[in-house]
């Protein structure tokens, strides 16, 4: 068990690093000056859109990519320049990365033999790992004769058998079909609880991030936007990007004026409410452009002045397209962002933005 | 717009009429009537020409467009007819047989028939000048080459030694070179090209070059003498002649096989190597436990191809040693040539060729079996 610490980590592809030179290499930064801590025993999720540098960051922790600048520590040990095999980590790849010419047992054994572990212990560890993933009967099969889910389990068993301080997972579920994915999701959560070691999990799927992790790191364009628990990230986003990225669908962002924009979640609206002067709320009357049927709830795309917004209603009956819809948004459900897309916490400014928004909408 | 469409309509109308006349022309049999219809067609064509002359430049472009469309439609009709005929034929005959004809022609006349002739001829005392004078001798040819011919048995052993020496030398060198060159940088690409050039060069020029280099006073012995070693007379020494020639053929074919192995290396996915690095595997372990097993199919191809090529090698021996000195570099390929084309003893040559075929087949099957076990 150990915390993982990243200090000012930078990745520039194709940059040559000279030792002991203070010159800062130039180029496009895939990972841009990232610093954060991963608490010991946490299930940390790196989430972000494709190309945001999350996989690069994970591969840098694994040692598969050189670290252009910065320091990575596991516990007190600086592992920046260590070989991948010496870092005390295990990785599960998106495409499983099993050795195609070896049987399941040989696949798991390979790393243990290289680590010069005595035979009796290897035997025990292999059977232990296979038991955890439930593949005891498949020991002598080759990866080609296994299904996608089974292959992923073998990859997991290979990681487990090394008893690492930290598991790194690079979108391990994205090659599985939807049903198997949700099964494996719960299995991974259970595995984490059983092993109690640190998990770092990369995904682009915010639902996966919200459901699995207890510590979420949202990344965009090589930078960390926000780090926190799932509830913090969802209920208290610190910028427009996080607000829009998390949630299904993400937050509606409406521009108020040059300075401010406000956001509200599609779920946080009161339908068919009467205009009420006492309550701190904005009353909206508009038209439905289209809708999606989600079974127990309906998602409506509504016209919002010059832009559009999503609202979600828990109901079994759908409203008709292009019919009128009215709802009110409570003041406490609104999030205010400034012109740089950062969250505004200052009470005065919030009042100001809210006032403009309200007067604008009451007059439409 | 409308008047442009009218051009098309007029053009098509003219063409319809001409086509109907043409159909009539085909139907009628009387010569006088035919002449009349011919005249009519000419008239209509002239009318169409006149009409075309009246058009402006822009209209002419439209006219040409319509012309093109009409031609295209006609072409498609003809193609459809051809398709119908084709499908009629292919319903009765498997198309595979038809596509096979050109290859089968070559195979039958230049491989299979000569091979049958070889098998039959090996039991005769063949006289190529008057072929009907040949007499059946049973296994006499075989008996002779095994008992009386001093060089034949030696040639078999030499061939086997030659094949194994070249194959293993080649496989070691190419595997090492390929794993070194299998990167995509400018220097590596340049070296790949340079290593490949001997393969393009003709065997004759390569052989002459190496004869000069392997000369007792050649560059190789001069370099060796700088190191204080007295090099042998490579090609004229009974101990070194066969291996020297083998080395030259290996040198020539390195580039080709390196290319094949590089292709095989590049088909091994990168993630396997990443997983191996995470599994603490050293470079040597990765090479032994990952690269070689995953490359075994490519290696098998290289092994068998080079093996067969070595068994039938002829040009290098002919150019460099002519089987000498004292039969030390005599291989079966050269022995067969020598028996047939030099001594004009075709019966011997055919018997020898049949034995060579059997040996090649045996070794290939054996190698296949060994590799199959390893691949599985």
CA distance B323 to B314: 10
pLDDT above 90 coverage of chain B, percent: 26
CB of B285 within 8 Å of any CB in chain A?
yes
Rg (CA), chain B: 35
pLDDT value of residue A233: 92
Write the residue in B274, B279, B294 that is nearest to A110 by C-beta: B279
CA distance A271 to A274: 9
Question: Buried b / exposed e across B177-209, counting CB within 10 Å, b at 16+?
Answer: bbbebbeeeeeeeeebeebeebeeeebeebbee
Write the residue in B271, B278, B293 that is nearest to A95 by C-beta: B271
Looking at the complex, report in whole angstroms how far the Cα of residue A8 sits from the nearest Cα belonging to chain B.
Answer: 24
Give B-chain residues touching A111 at CB under 8 angstroms.
278-281
CB B220 within 8 A of CB B214: yes
**Which residues, at least 6 apart from B173, have a Cβ–Cβ distance to it below 8 Å?**
B250, B254
Mean pLDDT by 10 residues, chain A (364 residues): 85 74 76 90 92 90 88 89 89 91 92 91 92 89 90 92 91 87 89 90 90 91 91 91 89 86 90 72 87 88 87 84 87 88 88 86 70
Give B-chain residues touching A93 at CB under 8 angstroms.
271, 274-275
pLDDT value of residue B110: 93
pLDDT value of residue A45: 94
CA distance A89 to A165: 6
Local confidence band at B323 (pLDDT 50, 70, 90 cut-offs): confident
The SS3 assignment for A87 reads coil
Task: Look at A97 and B271 and tell me if their CB atoms are within 8 Å.
Answer: yes
Work out the average pLDDT over B47-75: 89
Nearest to A55 by CA among A224, A170, A204: A170
Count how many residues are written for chain B.
Answer: 376
Could you tell me if A84 and A11 lie in one domain?
Answer: yes
CA distance A24 to A69: 9
pLDDT above 70 coverage of chain B, percent: 99
pLDDT value of residue B81: 94
pLDDT value of residue A19: 64
Work out the average pLDDT over B159-174: 92
Could you tell me if A254 and A357 lie in one domain?
Answer: yes
CB A250 within 8 A of CB A241: no
Task: Look at B278 and A110 and tell me if their CB atoms are within 8 Å.
Answer: no
**DSSP line for A156-204:** HHHHHHT--SEEEEESTTTTS-HHHHHHHHHHHHHHHHHH--EEEEEES
pLDDT value of residue A364: 62
Rg (CA), chain A: 25
Can you give the residue range of the structural domain that contains A255? 249-362
Backbone angles phi, psi at B285, to 5 degrees: -65, -45
Could you tell me if A344 and A284 lie in one domain?
Answer: yes
- Domain CATH code at residue A204: 3.40.50.300
CA distance B112 to B150: 31
Instruction: State the DSSP H helix or E strand holding residue A220, giving kind and residue range, or none if neither.
Output: strand A215-220
CB of B280 within 8 Å of any CB in chain A?
yes
Angle between helix axes A104-114 and A119-133 (nearest 10 degrees) is 130
CA distances from A249 to A244, A267, B364 (A): 8, 10, 64
**DSSP line for A261-274:** EEEE-TTS-EETPP
- Cis before residue B164, ω within 30 degrees of 0? no
Strand A297-304 to A307-314 pairing: antiparallel
Helix, strand counts (H, E) of chain A: 9, 18
Could you tell me if A268 and A226 lie in one domain?
Answer: no
A138 found inside a domain:
no
Q: Cα A286 vs. chain centroid, distance in angstroms? A: 34
CB A222 within 8 A of CB A237: no
Local confidence band at B116 (pLDDT 50, 70, 90 cut-offs): very high
Could you tell me if A201 and A348 lie in one domain?
Answer: no
Could you tell me if A309 and A213 lie in one domain?
Answer: no
Instruction: State the DSSP H helix or E strand holding residue A9, giving kind and residue range, or none if neither.
Output: strand A4-12
Furthest C-alpha separation in chain A: 79
Question: Buried b / exposed e across B48-75, counting CB within 10 Å, b at 16+?
Answer: beeebeeeeeeeeebbeebeeeeeeeee
CA distance A325 to A323: 7
The burial of A182, by beta-carbon neighbours within 10 Å (0-12 exposed, 13-18 middle, 19 or more buried), is given as: middle
Nearest to A111 by CA among A61, A165, A158, A59: A158
CA distance B216 to B225: 11
Could you tell me if A238 and A217 lie in one domain?
Answer: yes
DSSP letter at A258 equals: S
Task: Look at B285 and A99 and tell me if their CB atoms are within 8 Å.
Answer: no
A180 found inside a domain:
no
B282-314 tens-digit pLDDT: 888 998 899 988 998 888 888 888 888 888 888
Looking at B1-137, which runs of residues are DSSP E strands? 124-125, 135-136
Could you tell me if A75 and A169 lie in one domain?
Answer: yes
* Global confidence as pTM: 0.74
Task: Look at A114 and B277 and tell me if their CB atoms are within 8 Å.
Answer: no
Task: Decide which of A208, A225, A242 is a domain's last residue.
Answer: A242
Give B-chain residues touching A115 at CB under 8 angstroms.
280
Instruction: State the DSSP H helix or E strand holding residue B10, giving kind and residue range, or none if neither.
Output: helix B2-27
CA distance B300 to A360: 78
CB A54 within 8 A of CB A47: yes
pLDDT value of residue B355: 92
Could you tell me if A217 and A342 lie in one domain?
Answer: no
CB of B276 within 8 Å of any CB in chain A?
yes
CB B175 within 8 A of CB B303: no
The dihedral through the CA atoms of A228, A232, A238, A239 has a sign that is: positive
Task: Assess whether pLDDT exceeds 80 at residue B134.
Answer: no
Nearest to A49 by CA among A180, A220, A267: A220
A-interface mutation test, from B279, B286, B294, B297, most A Cβ less than 10 A away: B279
**Dihedral, CA of residue B46, residue B47, residue B52 and residue B56, to nearest 10:** 130
Task: Decide which of A242, A270, A300 is a domain's last residue.
Answer: A242
Task: Look at B289 and A110 and tell me if their CB atoms are within 8 Å.
Answer: yes
DSSP letter at B100 equals: H
Give B-chain residues touching A64 at CB under 8 angstroms.
274, 277-278
Could you tell me if A81 and A15 lie in one domain?
Answer: yes
- Domain CATH code at residue A350: 2.40.50.140
Give B-chain residues touching A97 at CB under 8 angstroms.
269, 271-272, 274-275
Provide the domain count of chain A. 2
Task: Look at B272 and A100 and tell me if their CB atoms are within 8 Å.
Answer: yes
Looking at the complex, report in whole angstroms how far the Cα of residue B278 sits from the nearest Cα belonging to chain A.
Answer: 4
Give A-chain residues touching B282 at CB under 8 angstroms.
114
A97 found inside a domain:
no
Nearest to A350 by CA among A277, A259, A283: A259
Could you tell me if A274 and A355 lie in one domain?
Answer: yes
**Which residues, at least 6 apart from A133, have a Cβ–Cβ distance to it below 8 Å?**
A153, A154, A156, A157, A160
**Which residues, at least 6 apart from B37, have a Cβ–Cβ distance to it below 8 Å?**
B21, B24, B25, B28
CA distances from B59 to B3, B52, B56 (A): 9, 9, 5
Domain ranges of chain B: 2-92, 95-122, 137-375
A-interface mutation test, from B185, B278, B282, most A Cβ less than 10 A away: B278
CB of A64 within 8 Å of any CB in chain B?
yes
Backbone angles phi, psi at A214, to 5 degrees: -115, 0
Question: Which residue from B minimizes the CA distance to A95?
Answer: B271
Instruction: State the DSSP H helix or E strand holding residue A326, giving kind and residue range, or none if neither.
Output: strand A324-330
Task: Look at B272 and A83 and tell me if their CB atoms are within 8 Å.
Answer: no
CA distance B22 to B34: 10
Alpha helices in A63-114 (DSSP H): 104-114
Write the residue in B271, B272, B279 that is nearest to A111 by C-beta: B279
Write the residue in B274, B281, B293 that is nearest to A114 by C-beta: B281
The SS3 assignment for A289 reads strand
Task: Look at A85 and B290 and tell me if their CB atoms are within 8 Å.
Answer: no
Give A-chain residues touching B294 at CB under 8 angstroms.
100-101
Structure ipTM:
0.81
DSSP letter at A342 equals: B
Return the CATH fold of B137-375.
MetI-like fold (1.10.3720)
Instruction: State the DSSP H helix or E strand holding residue A130, giving kind and residue range, or none if neither.
Output: helix A119-133
**Which residues, at least 6 apart from A94, have a Cβ–Cβ distance to it below 8 Å?**
A170, A171, A172, A174, A175
Could you tell me if A256 and A358 lie in one domain?
Answer: yes
Work out the average pLDDT over B125-141: 79
Alpha helices in B239-291 (DSSP H): 241-266, 270-278, 283-285
CB B293 within 8 A of CB B375: no
A99 found inside a domain:
no
């Amino acid at each position: 068990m150990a915390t993982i610490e990243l200090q000012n980590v930078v990745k520039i592809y194709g940059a040559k690093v000279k030792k002991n030179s203070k010159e800062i290499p130039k180029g496009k930064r895939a990972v841009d000056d990232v610093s954060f801590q991963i608490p010991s025993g946490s299930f940390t999720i790196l989430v972000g859109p494709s190309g945001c540098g999350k996989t690069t960051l994970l591969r840098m922790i694994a040692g598969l990519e050189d670290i252009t600048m910065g320091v990575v520590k596991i516990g007190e040990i600086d592992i920046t320049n260590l070989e991948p095999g010496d870092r005390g980590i295990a990785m599960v790849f998106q495409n499983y990365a099993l050795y195609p010419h070896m049987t399941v047992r040989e696949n798991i054994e390979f790393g243990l033999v290289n680590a010069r572990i005595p035979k009796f212990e290897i035997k025990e560890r292999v059977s232990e790992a296979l038991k955890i993933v439930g593949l005891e009967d498949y020991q002598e099969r080759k990866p080609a004769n296994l299904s996608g889910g089974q292959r992923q389990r073998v990859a997991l068993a290979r990681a487990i058998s090394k008893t690492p301080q930290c598991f790194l997972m690079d979108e391990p579920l994205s090659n599985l079909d939807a049903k198997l994915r949700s099964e494996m999701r719960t299995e991974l959560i259970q595995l984490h609880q059983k092993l109690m070691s640190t998990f770092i999990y990369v995904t682009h799927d915010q639902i996966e991030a919200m459901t699995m992790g207890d510590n979420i790191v949202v990344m965009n364009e090589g930078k960390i936007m926000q780090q926190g628990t799932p509830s913090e990230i969802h209920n208290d986003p610190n910028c427009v990007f996080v607000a829009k990225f998390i949630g299904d669908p993400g937050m509606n962002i409406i521009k108020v004026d040059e300075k401010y924009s406000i956001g509200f979640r599609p779920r946080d609206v009161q339908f068919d409410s009467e205009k009420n002067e006492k309550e701190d709320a904005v009353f909206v009357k508009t038209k439905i452009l289209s809708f999606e049927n989600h079974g127990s709830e309906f998602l409506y795309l509504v016209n919002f002045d010059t832009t559009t917004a999503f609202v979600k209603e828990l109901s079994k009956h759908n409203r008709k397209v292009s019919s009128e819809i009215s709802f009110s948004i409570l003041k406490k459900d609104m999030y205010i962002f400034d012109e740089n897309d950062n969250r505004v916490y200052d009470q005065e400014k919030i009042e100001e933005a809210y006032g403009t928004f309200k007067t604008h909408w009451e007059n439409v | 717009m409308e008047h442009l469409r009218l051009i098309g309509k007029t053009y098509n109308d003219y063409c319809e009429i001409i086509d109907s006349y043409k159909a009539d022309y085909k139907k009628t049999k009387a010569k006088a009537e035919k002449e009349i219809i011919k005249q009519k067609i000419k008239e209509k064509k002239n009318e169409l020409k006149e009409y075309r002359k009246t058009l402006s430049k822009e209209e002419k472009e439209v006219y040409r467009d319509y012309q093109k469309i009409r031609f295209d439609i006609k072409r498609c009709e003809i193609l459809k007819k051809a398709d119908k005929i084709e499908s009629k034929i292919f319903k009765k005959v498997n198309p595979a047989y038809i596509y096979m004809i050109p290859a089968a022609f070559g195979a039958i006349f230049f491989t299979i028939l000569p091979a049958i002739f070889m098998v039959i001829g090996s039991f005769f005392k063949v006289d190529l000048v008057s072929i009907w004078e040949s007499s059946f001798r049973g296994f006499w040819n075989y008996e002779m080459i095994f008992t009386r011919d001093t060089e034949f048995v030696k040639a078999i052993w030499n061939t086997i030694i030659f094949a194994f020496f070249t194959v293993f030398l080649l496989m070691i060198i190419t595997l090492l070179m390929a794993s070194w060159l299998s990167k995509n940088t400018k220097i590596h690409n340049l070296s790949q090209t340079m290593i490949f050039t001997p393969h393009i060069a003709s065997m004759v020029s390569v052989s002459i070059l190496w004869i000069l280099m392997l000369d007792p006073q050649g560059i190789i012995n001069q370099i060796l003498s700088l190191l204080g070693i007295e090099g042998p007379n490579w090609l004229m020494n009974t101990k070194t002649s066969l291996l020297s020639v083998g080395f030259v053929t290996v040198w020539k074919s390195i580039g080709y096989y390196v290319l094949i192995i590089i292709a095989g290396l590049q088909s091994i996915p990168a993630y396997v190597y990443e997983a191996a690095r995470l599994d603490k595997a050293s470079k040597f372990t990765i090479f032994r436990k990952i690269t070689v097993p995953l490359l075994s199919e490519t290696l098998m191809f290289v092994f068998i191809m080079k093996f067969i090529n070595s068994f039938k090698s002829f040009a290098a021996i002919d150019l460099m040693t002519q089987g000498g000195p004292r039969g030390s570099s005599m291989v079966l390929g050269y022995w067969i040539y020598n028996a047939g084309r030099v001594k004009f003893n075709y019966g011997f040559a055919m018997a020898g060729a049949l034995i060579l075929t059997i040996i090649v087949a045996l070794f290939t099957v054996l190698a296949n079996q060994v590799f199959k076990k390893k691949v599985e």
